[in-house]
Amino acid sequence: MMGVPKEGPSAGISITTGIVSALTGRPVRNDIAMTGEITIMGKVLAVGGILPKLQAAIEAGCAEVLMPKENERDVQMTPDYMRNKIKVGTFRRFKKCWRQRLSVGRTVDRA
């Protein structure tokens, strides 16, 4: 049986990041863009539309884009002038992404 096309799953890693940030009180860097579907077990899945997502991140002034490891081939196929303007980090698991790139390591007073 084929999967049903759906809108919005590429925001999964962003939504999860916001939830983890709110629950832990640890802020997220504000110079990162991210995309990726996420499973209930934390696996980051490939998404479509990588070229326009990279372009939007560059235009927004982001320093880095985080995306699924499965999308590395899409990044390699983007023009050099785009790849040279922004760092791209790829991940298979959300936990690694959070630890390595997103958390700035301090908590925010929620009072």
Q: Are 35 and 28 in contact (CB under 8 A)?
A: no
User: Catalytic annotation on 53?
Assistant: yes
Active site includes 85?
Answer: no
The SS3 call for residue 49 is coil
Which of 10, 21, 85, 87 is labelled catalytic?
10
List strands edge to edge, sheet with 87-91: 32-34, 64-68, 87-91
Catalytic option among 53, 85, 95, 96: 53
Give catalytic residue positions. Answer: 10, 53
